[in-house]
Amino acid sequence: MKKRINIQEADFELYLDNALKSYGYLFPETDEQMTVFEENMETISIPEELESPDFVFEGKKRVFTPTIIPINNSEGENNWALAARDGKEIPSDILEKMKKDKEEARKELNGNQ
């Protein structure tokens, strides 16, 4: 049996707060609010394999493969390198050495020594 409240006599904020909690828009706090919430709640069926906790003990291994997203941060790397040199240019012989080192590293990474 539902309680009838004369809204003219009741504090509207308390009435609204109780209604929101009773219908699940806020967390229910009292037994009465929880009862009303459970009566109006839809039942959601769970998958058959999750109905019993035995699925935890079944020895199935799940392999999660991480997704690697390459990030292009060449502009940021150049800015750090520039800051490390106090804004000075890199000499050409050092640039050539850096290019050779980079190519050798790529070859080693690809297995094409």
pLDDT digit string, tens, across residues 35-57: 988 888 887 788 787 777 776 77
22, 33 contact by CB (below 8 A): yes
Cα–Cα dist 42/40, whole Å:
7
What per-residue confidence (pLDDT) applies to 1?
52
Greatest Cα-to-Cα distance within the chain, rounded to the nearest angstrom:
90
pLDDT grade for 32, boundaries at 50, 70 and 90: very high
What per-residue confidence (pLDDT) applies to 64?
72
What per-residue confidence (pLDDT) applies to 10?
67
pLDDT digit string, tens, across residues 7-25: 666 678 888 898 899 888 9
pLDDT digit string, tens, across residues 61-87: 767 788 888 877 666 666 666 666 666
pLDDT at residue 108 is higher than 70: yes
Please count the other Cβ atoms lying within 10 Å of the Cβ belonging to residue 36. 19
